[in-house]
């Protein structure tokens, strides 16, 4: 068993499957002070497809499903994806800037990708998340907070940093499951 101080080594979550995405770059200030929770399913409400991995790995070329053609050649990534069974996959080391938030603002600061860690839950805004996802997410958030000294109140949804264009993780996300009090 890995000790609490050894869950993140070289900016990688040791219990995660590693799928190194080409879609990342350097953080401008080497700062990590925010966690952003997202949801993703490709196509919408299809939870067991390979398309998320293809998208984040730069292998999605379109034609596989009509709803996905608009994503052709899109360059996006997240640091972590947690599937419906609770399996954790890491695409980008935490010290690198993943491309997950897009145009975003947190407490007056723009470009949230510069200073945040993006976690995608396989799901939609309209479906409850699985017990296995919460069981994987809660310790991950705790480990990230401890390792990077991320404040307790600096865990937000994509909808919090891009409210005009995003609604995830949605009304079914239970913030109390990761010990965050939100009003």
- Which one of 44, 85, 103, 120 is the catalytic residue? 120
Q: Which residue has the tokens 């296995």?
A: 132
Active site residue 131: no
| Residue appearing with tokens 């705790």 | 142
The C-alpha atoms of residue 162 and residue 104 are separated, in whole angstroms, by 5
| Active site positions, annotated | 120
């Amino acid at each position: 068993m890995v000790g609490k101080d050894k869950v993140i080594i070289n900016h990688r979550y040791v219990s995660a499957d590693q799928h190194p995405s080409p879609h990342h770059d350097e953080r401008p200030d080497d700062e990590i002070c925010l966690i952003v929770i997202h949801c993703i399913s490709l196509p919408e409400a299809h939870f067991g497809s390979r398309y998320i991995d293809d998208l984040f790995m730069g292998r999605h070329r379109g034609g596989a499903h009509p709803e996905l053609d608009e994503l052709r050649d899109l360059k996006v990534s997240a640091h972590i994806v947690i599937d419906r069974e609770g399996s954790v996959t890491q695409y980008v080391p935490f010290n690198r800037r993943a491309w997950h938030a897009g145009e975003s603002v947190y407490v007056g600061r723009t470009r949230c990708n510069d200073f945040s860690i993006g976690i995608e839950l396989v799901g939609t805004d309209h479906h409850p998340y699985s017990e296995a996802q919460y069981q994987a997410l809660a310790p991950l958030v705790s480990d990230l907070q401890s390792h990077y000294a991320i404040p307790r109140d600096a865990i937000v949804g994509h909808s919090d940093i891009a409210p005009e264009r995003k609604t995830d993780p949605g009304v079914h996300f239970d913030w109390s499951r990761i010990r965050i009090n939100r009003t």
